[in-house]
Amino acid sequence: MKNAFLVLAGLFLGLLFIAVGRTLLSGSASDIAVTSASYNVYDSEKIAKHLSRAITFKTISDDGDWTPDAEVFGGFADFLATTYPAAHSAMERERVNGHSLVLRWPGAGAAGKKPIAFLAHLDVVPIETGTEGEWAQAPFSGVVKDGLVWGRGALDNKGQIIALMEAAERLAAEGFTPSRDVYFLFGHDEEIGGGGGAAKIVKTLAARGVRFAWTMDEGSGLVQGIIPGVEKPVALISTAEKGSVTLKLTARGQGGHSSTPAPDTAVSILSRAVLAVNDNPHPLKLDDNVVAFMHALAGEMAFAQRLVLTNMWLTGPIVKKQLSANPLTAASLHTTTAPTMIDGGQKLNILPQQASAIVNYRIHPRDSVASVRERAERLINDERVTVEIVGSKEPSPQSSATSEGYQAITKTTALIFGDIPVAPTLTLQGTDSHHYMEIADDNYRFTPFIYQPDDLQRMHGTDERINVENLARAAAWYEAFIRDTA
Ligand SMILES: [Zn+2]
C-alpha cells in the first residue's frame, strides 16, 4: 500500500506501550523465541532464490499517466508459472485487464463452504529519485546475502506472493485438493489505488456470482521488538481499514476596498470555519478492538501493567488520555481531521469575496463520509460557508473477530509461532481489500511475517529486505492454513 501501514501499526504499539509503561513500572521480559512447528521442511535457500528472481522484474507502478509495462508484468507472471509448475497445473490461470493475475484452485465443493481468497499485489513502488545510491545492494538486483534477500518488493509485497506460491506448490505436488475453491488474486496497481487491478478482478468475479467467505491481504502482521517489555512476536490481525474524505470549505464575503471593511471578510469567515473543525476533533474511543489488544498484551506484562490493562473499566480514562496525547496512537481511536490547504485574497487592499480551504479526514469505521460532512457543517454553522466533498472513500466495515476465517488465522498462528499474543487491529491506510468488501463476508489483513522495528522504514524506503527464515516460516504458515481452512 502507498503508505507503510506497518510503520504506523508498529509505532502504534510502541507508543501505546510507552504511554502506559511510563505511568507504571517497567515490564518483565518473557523467555521466548518462536516455537516453530514445521517450517524447516521448506528449503529457505531455494525460496530465497525464487524471491531474488522475482525482485529483478521491475513491476513498478506510478502515479500520473502510468501504463503497465506488458513485457515486465508478463515476464513476472511467466516466471511464477515456470517456478511453480504443480501449483499452476492444479489451478486455472487468467489475466485480468492485461496484467493482473487470477489463479483459481478448484475445490471439491464441500457443502456450505464459500470460496476464500488470498490477495497480494505484483507491483512495487518506485525508488525515490536521488536515493538509488543509498541502497547497500542495488534495489532490483535481488542480492541474497547473510540470510537476507534484498530489493524493492522483498517485504511489500513479493515476499508474500513467493511464500504463498511455495505453499501451494508443495500442496499441489502432493496431490492436495482443497475442499472449497481457493483463489489467489494478484493485482498489478495496488500502490496507486488498485483501480486497474483489484477493481477489475472484483468486477469480473462479481459478474460470475463469486462470493467469498473471506479474503486475506497485506495490511498487518506480526511485530517483534517494538513493544518494550514484550519479547514475543505479537500477531495483529487487521479486521478493518480506515476510509477518507476531503472537504473543500468555501467562504463568501463582500468585496470592496480594505479601508472600509465590514466586520468580516471571506478570509476571517473561512478562518473561523477551519478552526471550528480543527479545534473540535472527533471523539476518541477505546473500542472493543483496542480493549482486546490490551488484554492480549496483558498476559505478557508485569503485574502492575497487567492490572491496568485488564481493568480498563476503571483505568480506561487514564489509558485514553495517554493514547490521545500522541498523533499516531490517537489516529487509531478516532476519525482524524487535517486542514491541509488554504487559498484566498488577491491583493493587499482588496476585500476578498471568496476564500477556500481543504480539510482531509481519515475515517474510523464507526463513522462515514456523510456523518463526517454533517458534523463539519454543524460545527461550522455558518451559511456563508459551503462544504463540498472533493474526494471520498468509505471506511471498511468491521470484519468478524469470531468467524471461521479469523479463528483459522489464530489457530495457524499458534501452530507456527507458538503461544504468542494475538489481537485484532485497524489498518490506518488503504489496501486492495477495500475493493473486495462487496464480494466477501469478511476481509482480513495479515501477512505471517515477523516485522522488526527497522523493517518498518524499509517498506517504500531504502534497503528493503527480508530474512529468509521469515519467508520459509510464512510458507509453512500458508501451507498449514490452507490445509486447515480448505
Ligand atoms: Zn503493499
Angle between helices 468-485 and 404-417 (to 10 degrees): 140
Q: Is residue 390 helix, strand or coil?
A: strand
Half-sphere exposure of residue 14, counting CA atoms within 13 Å on the CB side? 16
| H or E element, residue 139 | none
Tell me which CATH code domain 243-283+334-393 carries: 3.30.70.360
- 158: CA distance to ligand 1 center in Å? 9
Compute the distance between CA of residue 362 and CA of residue 429 in angstroms, rounded to an integer: 8
**What are 103's three cell numbers?**
489463479
Q: How far, in Å, is the centroid of ligand 1 from the Cα of 127?
A: 15
Any catalytic annotation for residue 123?
yes
Dist. CA 186–CA 174, nearest whole Å: 24
Whether omega before 3 lies within 30 degrees of 0, making that bond cis, reads no
User: Which sign, positive or negative, has the C-alpha torsion 217, 222, 226, 228?
Assistant: positive
Give the pLDDT confidence score for residue 22 in this predicted structure.
43
How far does the centroid of ligand 1 lie from the alpha carbon of residue 62, in Å? Answer: 13
Nearest-angstrom CA–CA distance, 444 and 430 = 13
What is the distance in A from the centroid of ligand 1 to the CA of 75? 20
Q: How far is the CA of 110 from the centre of ligand 1 (A)?
A: 32
CA distance 226 to 199: 34
The residue annotated as part of the active site, out of 190, 191, 241, 367, is: 190
Rounded Cα distance, 123 and 156, in Å: 9
Inter-residue contact 308 to 344 (CB < 8 Å): no
**Residue 479, SS3 per DSSP:** helix
Residue located via cell numbers 475453491: 181
Strand partners, 182: 105, 116
C-beta separation of 404 from 166 below 8 A = no
Ligand 1 centroid – CA 389 distance (Å): 27
Of 239, 181, 161, nearest in space to 396 by CA: 239
Q: What are the cell numbers at 143?
A: 542480492
297 vs 29: CA distance, rounded Å? 12
Separation CA 293–CA 332 (nearest Å): 12
From ligand 1's centre to the CA of 9, what distance in Å?
14
DSSP state of 294: H
- If we measure between CA atoms, which residue out of 119, 71, 80 comes closest to residue 98? 71
Find all residues with CB under 8 Å of 268, minimum gap 6, and list them: 253
Q: How far is the CA of 121 from the centre of ligand 1 (A)?
A: 7
**How many angstroms separate the alpha carbon of residue 160 from the centre of ligand 1?**
10
- For the chain, the first-to-last Cα distance in angstroms comes to 27
| Centre of ligand 1 from the C-alpha of residue 3, in Å | 8
- What does the pLDDT look like over 44-99, one tens digit per residue? 999 999 999 999 999 999 988 899 999 999 999 999 999 999 999 999 999 999 99
Rounded to whole angstroms, the Cα distance separating 474 from 478 reads: 6
Pairing between β-strand 212-223 and β-strand 234-241 as defined by DSSP bridges: antiparallel
Q: Known catalytic residue: 166? A: no
Q: What is the tens place of the pLDDT at every residue in 425-448?
A: 999 888 999 999 999 999 999 999
Determine the Cα–Cα distance for residues 49 and 55; give it in Å rounded to an integer.
Answer: 10
Q: What residues does each domain of the chain span?
A: 5-241+396-485, 243-283+334-393
pLDDT at 429: 84
Distance 458 CA to ligand 1 centre (A): 12
Rounded CA gap, 438 and 266, in Å?
Answer: 43
Q: What is the pLDDT of residue 12?
A: 53
Helices (H), 332-424: 369-380, 404-417
Which stretches of the chain score pLDDT less than 50? Answer: 7-8, 19, 22-36
Q: Record the cell numbers describing residue 199, joined without a space.
A: 477493481
Residue 159 CA, ligand 1 centroid: distance in Å: 10
CA of 143 to the centre of ligand 1 (A): 21
Residues with Cβ within 8 Å of 275's Cβ and at least 6 positions away in sequence, in order, are: none
Distance 190 CA to ligand 1 centre (A): 7
Phi, psi of 115 (to 5 degrees): -65, 160
pLDDT for the residue numbered 35: 46
Tell me, which fold does domain 5-241+396-485 have in CATH?
Aminopeptidase (3.40.630)
- CA distance readout (Å), 334 to 166, 365, 398: 39, 9, 14
- Distance CA(476)–CA(455), nearest Å, equals 21
| C-beta separation of 477 from 413 below 8 A | yes
Task: Please give the radius of gyration of the chain, using alpha carbons only, rounded to the nearest integer.
Answer: 24
